[in-house]
Structure 1
Amino acid sequence: MTDVILADPPPPVDNTWAAPAIGVPLALAIGLVVFFLVRSARGSVRDADDFLVAGRRIDVRQNTLAFATAPIMYSTMVIITGHIALNGFDAVLLMTAFTVSMLVALLIYASPLRNVGGHTLGDLFAVRADERTARTASATLILLTYVMFLIVTMAALAFIIYRLFNVEALWLVGGLTAVVGLIVVAYVFMGGMLGVTKMLMVKAVLVIAFIALLTVLALAKLNLNVFSLLQDAEANAVPDKRGYDLLGPGRLFGEGSTRSAPPEADPWVHLSKVFSIVVGTAGIPFLFMRNYAVTNGRDARRSVGWASMIVVGFYACMCLLGLGAIAILGKDGIGIIAPHRDITLPKLVDELGGPVLSGALAAISLLVVAGVLAALLINVVTSVTKDINVVRGRKPAPGAELKDIRRNVVIVGVVSVLLGVAMLPALTHIFIPTSIDLGGAAVLPAVVYSLYWRRFNTAGLKWTVYGGIAVTMFMVVFSNGVSGDEAALFPDADFKFVDIEPGLISVPVAFLLGWIGTLTSRERNDAAFAEMQVRALTGAVVPARGQALADGADAARPGREAPAPSEAH
């Protein structure tokens, strides 16, 4: 059984690019800079709101940089480069889905979510549904996606230590991964949301500047001629046995692209991935819930808009780097099998800038993943504090709540690090697509219905959230991620019947279930919808129907005046 669930070690590769003698000092220097920035944020943390949502004082500039880092992870920076070098146009199309998801977030909820106020999804759901049910649904969604992202994020830390710092002893990789994880826990403990925001700002500045520099160097290698880059990329491309060109469609979307699917299903398989990324990423809680920390709804909308433009520029550079890698290194210089896709960018960096840039890549990549872990942790601690305490009927005294939150950071953080390290040997590749599918199938429909459908009620929330989770998990179990493929959890078994990404089916089914559940219940509260409209569109504080609303409103904090409608939207 352990042979089934444990991952095989990555195929050996001659690591000629790692420069730990430069990467380690740079990583320590970046860590110290982040430490002092996070420590400077500690003095502004006076109560629970200051810790969890930075007192709602995050401005447009800060949130733009922090939000722009949301889709920048190990997979969407290092691995995607190798993916583009191998699959060209189709991989670029897949990458654009991440940028489109930010537009979905901008159009649907960036401003309304902040205007409604609160700390978690539970505050939004509680306006339209029974509070206990709303908080339970919120905690379930956040904890489920948190565990999946946590395990994959810790695995990414281990891969960076293994690949970019050239640490080969598995016990040392695990130990260093735990150390980095605990440092992130300490950062969150000290600075709360403001500290995490400053950490993400440093991440944004460094990674964007570094990728921009690499892009210029790659273009300079080809006389600053994009057309030469494209021509050389096509000429040096790894041949496709079906005859598809690198710069044309087909390598991922054409027939015969998926090992475990019939040829006629291939276009649907990969288009379903694009769809799931677009709607699923927009629904991942830890990515969009930081909008609660922004000054007002208008600033939330502006910051997400600016962040979207930054991300478009970032991924345009990643596109050039992916194609530049095959143009400069040739087909023998890139990773040509899936487990080696993450060596293409390091080899390109080594070619362009030698050990100095290779060490910088290692240090910055460590910060990239550490920033994701910090955002995950502050998100789940907020849910534990605000959602689970309500479900348990526990309301800490105002003076004790901050201590309670910091205790939660330590407990949840340490347990998370231990869990992540324990799961390093396991097959975890299925967690990222599953969590994205859950974001689209369980979170997004519930948010859309809560904000925009007058008839929505408690039953509809249950059917949407738990129905979306059930349908997604059912389809995942019978997908090629679990059986019927050599990379599946059970490669020797074949009980799959789902070839496409589950989100293509589970998202519309979840919307349908929410509609059915709502209409089968007699519960209807038009006043609650009117209240939601007023709060979502203007940010004005409505007299509370219950304690949940009072807790979620900005005006509930002592000494803070309610925002005028003109300021909120």
Structure 2
Amino acid sequence: MIQLESYGNPTINIAVFAIFVAATLGIVIAVTRQKSKASDFYTGGGAFSGRQNGLAITGDYLSAAAFLGVTGAIALYGYDGLLYSVGFFVAWIVALFLVAEPLRNTGKYTMADVLSFRMNQKPVRTAAATSTLVISFVYLLAQMAGAGGLVALLLGVSDRTMQGVVIGLVGALMVAYVLIGGMKGTTWVQMIKAVLLVSGAAIMAALVLFGSGFNLSALLSSAQAAGLDPATGTGVDVLQPMQQYGKTEFTKLSFLSLSIALVAGPSGLPHVLMRFYTVPTAKEARRSAVWAIGLVGAFFLITLVLGMGAAKLVGQQTILEAPGAANSAAPLLALHLGGEVFMGIISGVAFATILAVVAGLTITASASFAHDVYNSILKDGKADPEQEVKVARITSVVIGVLAILGGILANGQNIAFLISLAFAVAASANLPSILYTLYWRRFTTRGSVWSIYTGLISSVVLIVFSPSISGSASSMLGEGVNFAWFPLTNPALVSVPLAFLAGWLGTITSKKAADGELAIEMEMRSMTGAGAGEALNH
């Protein structure tokens, strides 16, 4: 096992970071041309192939939580940590088969285009834009926390003020990507990042397995032995389920709630769904799906090897005591496997992952505000395209500032866990309304608005008053502050059913019936792709 004092060479780490940032910014500038239409900023002109977009979707979906947080969770809790890998992957299949292609066939730029297609535009767009902004902000907290923990580890920065400065720099770079490149530049960064991340993780997994004779059973047994103290039998048995969630009835319910959030959440994540608007046809959207499923599936199989390898070679106690705690498992494993240079490269890939994902989140949130609020609501759909893009750029700066402040507060939390909270909000606020809109002809404006706001408000309120925020040693505000009255660490078990119920109740109590002709037209477009080109080019 490595020594706690040794976290690599800060000079090498800074040099690798600088190379990654300079290279990706250079690519953004190179591929970006003068934009004359809003669609260029929002969708990259819809000009990407299925393979390219599949790589970009993989880059968007495999965030810092997937690499840093999941690896750490598996290293520390074994099967309970593996839940994140399984949940993230199963969720991706659900999103692709039920939601992604129908949304792409019906929409234009944002999720709200679909939700408002056959509804009263203003109230539905307002609700959808609100949920998009909230979800993007919660998701950004996790990425910013990951950035702070990663750089703290690599530069040996234990002072939280300096970590806050690092988070501020990440936020500034994030805004620069969006302002310079729009969706086109961001998509290219996502593609490159996906290749680097999957390749880097595969190389690390191969090295771990090589050390165990390419015997997965031997690796698992070694990780189990490393987690348990042979003298006392204490420690975390990584092969024993429910090490993290099996202590009380409430923690078991939290486990169930987390499972719901992980499986249902991605189908409501605006920044992932928006990726399908960057391809020209439904056929290319399906090709995107095939590429993304293969890459995402392979990556999450790899995280099991990485997590168990970190438990065996780095040690659980070393991971917990390092800056960034669970989030440090992957970089410390890289240090053990390949030394300082390899650690710098893997950490540079992780840093590029964070930058790319936060840029994608920012452009989604800014597009939602500019397109759904400014253009469609305030300007009745008649805003000048250049002015609309200008509003999107200003919004991205505001979002960047808010994300920096929130990231400083969330610094030190396991980012896979923070992501699960964002998934819970997405599953509650967006997914019920999306499914009702796509598959229930009778669904009405009132049902959509009630569903979105009920899911959004209930999930956020329950998160705020849960042990995730206060009342425990692992909470965001620590044990010293306690206003937690909701006993579960994840709200999805309560908030998702509430949102479905609200959508149904709002629909059956609506005085105005749904527009049958528009419902049939939407069903035809969503299922066949007929008319999708016109929807994208209005």
- 2:482 and 2:159 map into 1 onto residues whose CA distance is 32
- Over 3 Å counting, the alpha-carbon distance change for 1:518 and 1:70 in structure 2 is same
> Cα deviations across residues 245-293 of structure 1 (Å, max 9, x unaligned)?
4223231343x2xxxxxx2333222122112111013211112211111
- Corresponding residue to 2:392 among 408, 420, 429: 408
TM-score, L = length of structure 1: 0.86
- Corresponding residue to 2:294 among 306, 309, 324: 309
1:324 to partner: Cα distance: 1.4
1:157 to partner: Cα distance: 1.9
Whether the 8 Å CA contact 2:12–2:341 is kept in 1: the answer is yes
2:279 is the alignment partner of 1:287: no
- Between 278-287 and 159-168, report the one with greater CA deviation: 159-168
Whether the 8 Å CA contact 2:245–2:255 is kept in 1: the answer is yes
- Between 271-280 and 414-423, report the one with greater CA deviation: 414-423
> Cα deviations across residues 522-552 of structure 1 (Å, max 9, x unaligned)?
322111110111211222239xxxxxxx9x7
1:339 to partner: Cα distance: 6.0
1:19 to partner: Cα distance: 2.4
1:416 to partner: Cα distance: 2.9
- 1:98 and 1:211 map into 2 onto residues whose CA distance is 17
2:89 is the alignment partner of 1:99: yes
> Cα deviations across residues 211-248 of structure 1 (Å, max 9, x unaligned)?
11111111122222222212211222235978984223
TM-score, L = length of structure 2: 0.90
1:155 to partner: Cα distance: 2.7
- 1:138 and 1:482 map into 2 onto residues whose CA distance is 25
1:431 to partner: Cα distance: 5.8
Secondary structure at 1:234 match in 2: helix
Whether the 8 Å CA contact 2:236–2:243 is kept in 1: the answer is yes
1:505 aligns to what? 494
- 1:433 and 1:172 map into 2 onto residues whose CA distance is 27
- Corresponding residue to 2:131 among 134, 141, 155: 141
2:48 aligns to what? 58
Gaps of 5+ in 1: 1-12, 257-262, 543-549, 557-569
2:187 aligns to what? 197
Whether the 8 Å CA contact 2:138–2:422 is kept in 1: the answer is yes
2:231 is the alignment partner of 1:231: no
- 1:484 and 1:168 map into 2 onto residues whose CA distance is 24
1:69 to partner: Cα distance: 2.1
2:346 aligns to what? 361
Q: CA RMSD in A?
A: 2.6
Alignment of 1:520-539 (within 5 A): 520-524=509-513, 525-539=515-529
Number of positions where the alignment pairs a residue of Structure 1 with one of Structure 2: 526
- 1:237 and 1:14 map into 2 onto residues whose CA distance is 17
- 1:22 and 1:484 map into 2 onto residues whose CA distance is 40
2:200 aligns to what? 210
Aligned-residue sequence identity (percent) comes to: 31
2:536 is the alignment partner of 1:554: yes
- 1:58 and 1:508 map into 2 onto residues whose CA distance is 37
1:251 aligns to what? 243
1:54 to partner: Cα distance: 1.2
2:23 aligns to what? 33
Compare CA radii of gyration and give the structure with the larger one: 1
1:456 to partner: Cα distance: 0.4
- Over 3 Å counting, the alpha-carbon distance change for 1:86 and 1:155 in structure 2 is closer
1:470 to partner: Cα distance: 2.6
- Over 3 Å counting, the alpha-carbon distance change for 1:116 and 1:424 in structure 2 is closer
- Between 240-249 and 325-334, report the one with greater CA deviation: 240-249
- Over 3 Å counting, the alpha-carbon distance change for 1:462 and 1:241 in structure 2 is farther
- 1:474 and 1:330 map into 2 onto residues whose CA distance is 37
Whether the 8 Å CA contact 1:484–1:496 is kept in 2: the answer is no
Whether the 8 Å CA contact 1:189–1:406 is kept in 2: the answer is no
1:21 aligns to what? 11
1:76 to partner: Cα distance: 2.3
- 2:281 and 2:450 map into 1 onto residues whose CA distance is 31
- 2:162 and 2:380 map into 1 onto residues whose CA distance is 41
Alignment of 1:77-92 (within 5 A): 77-92=67-82
Whether the 8 Å CA contact 1:475–1:498 is kept in 2: the answer is no
- 1:517 and 1:246 map into 2 onto residues whose CA distance is 46
1:131 aligns to what? 121
Secondary structure at 2:409 match in 1: coil
User: What amino acid is the match of 1:416?
Assistant: I
2:209 aligns to what? 219
> Cα deviations across residues 486-507 of structure 1 (Å, max 9, x unaligned)?
3344734355143262101211
